[in-house]
Amino acid sequence: MIVELKKNATRDQIDLLENWLRDKGIRVTETQGEENVVLGLVGKAAKSIDEKMIESLEIVETTKSVKEPFKRANRKFHPEDSVIDINGVKIGGGNFAVIAGPCSVESPEQITEVAKAVQASGATLLRGGAFKPRTSPYDFQGMKAEGLELLELAKAETGMPLVTEIMNAAHLPLFENVEVLQVGARNMQNFELLKAVGRTNKTVLLKRGLANTLKELLMSAEYIMSEGNPNVILCERGIRTFETHTRNTLDLSAVPALKELSHLPVVIDPSHATGIARMVEPMAMAAAAAGADGLMIEVHNDPAHALCDGPQSLTPAQFDRVMKRVNLIREAMNADI
Ligand code: PEP
Ligand code: MN
């Protein structure tokens, strides 16, 4: 249930109501809206509360029941866009952030060279896989703990916060110096992993599964948020369809759909969505035009020799061009009309 409070509700009155609800076993979230405070009531106990009685309280403007099974991720719970601050890099609510870097960390030279190049072009977050989910067990599985150390090296040189995939909750201690935990497409419904990252205070980049609906993606976000971590970024990275020309099919309509349903930032990954480097630019521009809050793009200093996902990786020069063109789209989006 959503409880919209009156504009003139005082802090003491709000605290009194919240404590009373919590004593009944209800989990309460508070959001400061543009003009008034909105409370979100979740948990089994919230179902038994008398909506009419809540509505009759002096400080309550109105109540609404939320039919969707995702509550904390729901825009009804949090009418404003969520803005996530990652060590000073903001995403959401008009803040556009670009995550760039290689598919996999391969060497100190590779990751620092790519980090410096993408930063010079305007990327604000550095990606690089250390633990890689590969279809074949015989393919390069990532540099693992050593890869994380190399990412830290690149962060020390550039100051860029890190985004890297976690596949196993037991690895969490290794990710201490990582700012954004990526939950990859293949793990979108690994509920134990979702709960574990939900118990951390790190931002989570949650990628949509290859064959998952938007509602399922939001339910996975809910798993993370219900553990107390509100910092979730949703990522559309293409889904499986009958089309085989591209690696996946980019569902761009996910951007307006997710932003309608949820307050969480939405980013597009045109690299995994298409699997083809020359298609990254048009899809990145289209994502910006569709209202995405950011992009995740794979960039490699030598794509032809990349240990993973070379065909979809941009060179730093290609990435620089994409950034310039995306910025033009962003300017057009911000124009007053
Ligand atoms: C990745 O970003 O490196 C990755 C493996 O992506 P996805 O989980 O979307 O396939
Ligand atoms: Mn990749």
Q: How confident is the model at residue 337 (pLDDT cuts 50, 70, 90)?
A: confident
Write out pLDDT tens, residues 287-304: 999 999 999 999 999 999
71 within domain boundaries: no
Mutation pick for ligand 1 pocket among 248, 268, 272 (CB with most ligand atoms within 8 Å): 272
pTM for the model stands at 0.95
Residues whose beta carbon lies within 6 Å of some atom of ligand 1: 103, 129, 133, 165, 184-186, 207, 237, 272
CATH number at residue 256: 3.20.20.70
pLDDT of residue 34 exceeding 90: no
70 within domain boundaries: no
pLDDT of residue 59 exceeding 90: yes
92 within domain boundaries: yes
75 within domain boundaries: no
Q: How far apart are CA 268 and CA 278, in angstroms?
A: 16
The closest ligand to the CA of 206 turns out to be 1
Structurally, the chain folds into a number of domains equal to 2
Residue 113 sits in the same domain as residue 206: yes
Alpha helix stretches (DSSP H) within 43-105: 44-47, 51-55
Nearest Cα residue to atom 10 of ligand 1: 185
Q: How confident is the model at residue 105 (pLDDT cuts 50, 70, 90)?
A: very high
77 within domain boundaries: no
Query: Is 314 in contact with 299 (CB distance < 8 Å)?
Result: yes
Write out pLDDT tens, residues 137-186: 999 999 999 999 999 999 999 999 999 999 999 999 999 999 999 999 99
Q: Is 71 left (phi over 0), alpha (psi -120 to 50) or beta?
A: alpha
Percent of the chain with pLDDT over 70: 100
Rounded to an integer, the average pLDDT of 199-209 is 98
Residue 161 sits in the same domain as residue 21: no
CATH number at residue 37: 3.30.70.1140
274 within domain boundaries: yes
Residue 88 sits in the same domain as residue 37: no
C-alpha of residue 298 to centroid of ligand 2, in Å: 7
74 within domain boundaries: no
Rounded to an integer, the average pLDDT of 268-286 is 98
pLDDT attached to residue 133: 97
Between 32-46, 210-224, 249-263, the lowest mean confidence (pLDDT) is in: 32-46
C-alpha of residue 154 to centroid of ligand 2, in Å: 19
Position in ligand 1 atom list of the atom nearest CA 129: 3
Residue 158 sits in the same domain as residue 53: no
pLDDT attached to residue 135: 95
pLDDT of residue 62 exceeding 90: yes
Residue 39 sits in the same domain as residue 109: no
C-alpha of residue 285 to centroid of ligand 2, in Å: 20
Query: Is 5 in contact with 61 (CB distance < 8 Å)?
Result: yes
pLDDT attached to residue 149: 98
| Alpha carbon 86 to chain centroid, angstroms | 11
Based on its alpha-carbon atoms, the radius of gyration of the chain, rounded to whole angstroms, reads 21
39 within domain boundaries: yes
C-alpha of residue 185 to centroid of ligand 1, in Å: 6
Average pLDDT, the chain: 96
Encoded tokens for 316: 């730093």
Residue 43 sits in the same domain as residue 129: no
pLDDT attached to residue 33: 80
The closest ligand to the CA of 129 turns out to be 1
Residue 60 sits in the same domain as residue 89: no
Write out pLDDT tens, residues 310-333: 999 999 999 999 999 999 999 999
Residue 38 sits in the same domain as residue 164: no
Residue 56's domain spans which residues?
A: 2-64
pLDDT attached to residue 35: 87
Indicate the SS3 state at residue 197.
helix
Q: How confident is the model at residue 210 (pLDDT cuts 50, 70, 90)?
A: very high
Residues 6 or more apart whose Cβ sits within 8 Å of residue 98: 118, 122, 123, 124, 125, 294, 295, 296, 297, 323, 326
Residue 173 sits in the same domain as residue 39: no
Residue 60 sits in the same domain as residue 88: no
Residue 225 sits in the same domain as residue 141: yes
pLDDT of residue 43 exceeding 90: no
126: number of Cβ within 10 Å: 30
Residues 6 or more apart whose Cβ sits within 8 Å of residue 293: 81, 91, 92, 95, 96, 97, 233, 265, 266, 267
Residue 92 sits in the same domain as residue 58: no
